Structure 1
Amino acid sequence: MIEIAVEKELLGSRGKMALHVNLTIEPQSFVALSGQSGSGKTTLLRILAGLEEAKGRIVVNDEVWLDGSKAVLPQQRGIGFVFQDYALFPNMSVLENLLFVRNDRELAFHLLEITELSELAKRSPLTLSGGQKQRVSLCRAMMNRPKLLLMDEPLSALDPSMRLKLQNEILTLHKEFETTTMIVSHDPSEMYRLSNRVLVMSQGSIIQDGSAKEVLLRTQGSQKFSFEGEVLEIVRVDVIYVAVIAIGQQLVEVVLDRSEAESLKIGDNVTIGTKAFAPIITFQKK
């Protein structure tokens, strides 16, 4: 069981704000943290890791990590942290990066095998692709057999196919090592696929807390599908107007009437909704 009751003054996207989180996490949970940039997600991870100071109390499996302002050092917390920028040692091989954390060659090769990196064990991180570097970073984080694995948007810079592959590997490691995992993500499909609990943060506080389905799924049955997007272009075609809108990594065209076209401008954020009475699903070959 992880008990978190922390507070800290932050400079957020709208100026000064108070991070105030009171939370209990079950062992072996996979928790996703979502919310706008500057809402306090990364700061919360860094407080849990001991990389930032805060006031309050953190207890992990009956071990007190923070009490008031007295904190256990990061290296004594038994955590794994996967950063966005990999944070690998360029002067060490892939294997040496792992053994630097713990001199356990059996565990290191086991992790490299799970993530299909065994053949790259002697390579320098400088020669690896982004996806390979992130897999090395994940393996290194697991070398401590952490009680708590923290990941700050670890897959955001990867292409969709590599992101899916690493999601599967993260889930495999989470289950095998029976660790409690927290990931910061802005990708609904990633959160739905990986987590059993989603927390949404805004201005330093948790404003939504539930299962991935409860928090992320916006439509059921015959209700409306609803997607958020950005207007990229508005063009007139004969007597109608067409808006080109970016929804995630896809572009769609939406027909507008004249009043809608005149009220919108390039860069506007919009919500696109449609009835779900007869959705069409087309299967794609892998």
Structure 2
Amino acid sequence: MLKISLQKQLHGAIGKMNLDVNISISQGEFVALTGLSGSGKTTLLRSLAGLEKAQGTIEVENEIWQDTNIFLPVQKRKIGFVFQDYALFENMSVLENLLYVSKDKKLATHLLEITDLLTLKDRLPNTLSGGQKQRVSLCRAMMNRPKLLLMDEPLSALDPQMRIKLQNEILQLHKEFNTTTIMVSHDPSEIYKLSQRVIVLKDGKITDDGKAKDILLKTTGSAKFSFDGKLLDIIKVDVIYIAIIAIGQQIVEVTISSQEAENFKIGQDITVSTKAFAPWIK
């Protein structure tokens, strides 16, 4: 069981705010941490890792990592941390990056086999693709058999095909090592596929906590479909107005009224929903 009770003043998107989080996470649980930028997600991860200090307590499997008298340094917390920017040692080969954490060559070989990297074990990071670098980073994070695996948007810079491959490998490693995993992500499909639980942060506070299906499929009123997006442009065509909206990686056009065209602002975050819609999938 992981017990977290942390407080810290932050400078977020709305100015000063207080990170105030109290949660318990079961051993072996996969938790997705999501919410708007500046809501405190990365600060929470870094505080768990011991990379930042916050007030409060952290207890992992009955071991105190932090309280009023104790603050374990990073190297004494049995964690794995996967950064968005890989953070590999450029002067070390793939295998050496792993063995730097632990001299367990059998484990390193096993991890490289799972992630299809064994044939690249003698290569330097600057000769690898982004996806290969992130897989090395993931393997390195697992080298000390962490009690807690922390991932800060690890797949956001990768193409969709590579993201799917790494999602499968992350899930495989999570299950094999029975590691408690907390991953920051903004990708609904990624969250739905990987996590058993979703925690939503807003302005430093938890606003939602539940199963991925329950959190991600929430809609307002009687809406059948609901998507969050950003308004890119409003175009008038004859007597109608068309809103150009970015939803995830897609750009869509939606017809709006003249009143909506006056009230909406370019760059605004909006929700697109429909009450009666029979989808066609092909």
Please give the range of the TM-score, normalised by the shorter of the 2 chains: over 0.9
Counterpart position of 1:189? 189
Which residue in the other structure is 1:133 paired with?
133
Contact 2:5 2:22 in 1 (8 A): yes
Match of 1:87 in 2: 87
Shift of 1:280: 1.8
Which residue of structure 1 lines up, in the alignment, with residue 163 of structure 2? 163
| Percent sequence identity over aligned pairs | 66
Partner of 1:124: 124
Deviation (angstroms), 1:243: 2.0
Q: Which amino acid is 1:275 matched to?
A: K
Q: CA contact under 8 A between 1:34 and 1:201: conserved in structure 2?
A: yes
Contact 2:102 2:143 (8 Å CA) reproduced: yes
Please state how far the C-alpha of 1:201 moved relative to its aligned partner: 0.7
Question: Which residues of 2 match residues 169-248 of structure 1 at below 5 A?
Answer: 169-219=169-219, 223-248=223-248
- The answer (yes or no) to whether the contact 1:32–1:195 under 8 Å persists in 2 is yes
Counterpart CA distance in 2 for 1:144 and 1:73 is 16
Q: Does 1:269 align with 2:274?
A: no
State whether structure 2 residue 59 is matched by structure 1 residue 59. yes
Query: SS of the residue aligned with 1:101?
Result: coil
Distance 1:244 1:15 in 2: 30
CA separation in 2, counterparts of 1:205 and 1:52? Answer: 18
Whole-angstrom CA distance in 1 between matches of 2:262 and 2:55? 51
The 3-state SS of whatever aligns with 1:53 is: coil
- In angstroms, what is the RMSD of aligned CA positions? 1.7
Which moves more between the two structures, 92-101 or 241-250?
241-250
Answer yes or no: is 1:280 the counterpart of 2:277: no
Deviation (angstroms), 1:227: 1.1
Question: Does the residue aligned with 1:162 lie in a helix, a strand or coil?
Answer: helix
How far residue 263 of structure 1 moved from its aligned partner, in angstroms, is 3.2
**What count of residue pairs does the alignment treat as equivalent?**
282
CA contact under 8 A between 1:54 and 1:69: conserved in structure 2? no
Q: 1:245 Cα shift?
A: 1.3
SS of the aligned residue for 2:87 comes to coil
Match of 1:97, SS?
helix
- SS of equivalent residue, structure 2 residue 38: coil
Taking structure 1 as reference, are residues 276 and 76 closer, same or farther at Cα in structure 2, changes over 3 Å only? farther
User: Which residue is 1:27 aligned to?
Assistant: 27
Moved more, 122-131 or 239-248: 239-248
8 A contact 1:56–1:69 mirrored in 2: no
Tell whether 2:109 aligns with 1:109. Answer: yes
Structure 1 residues 192-242: Cα deviation after superposition (integer angstroms, max 9, x where no partner): 11000100111211111111111111249x742111222223223333222
Q: Distance in 2 between matches of 1:276 and 1:193?
A: 27
Is it true that 1:251 corresponds to 2:251 in the alignment?
yes
Kindly state the Cα deviation for residue 24 of structure 1 after the two structures are TM-superposed.
0.6
Counterpart check, 1:97 vs 2:97: yes
Alignment TM-score, normalising by the size of structure 1: 0.94
Unaligned 5+ runs, structure 1: none
In 2, distance between residues paired with 1:43 and 1:176? 28
Separation of aligned partners in 1, 2:235 and 2:4: 51
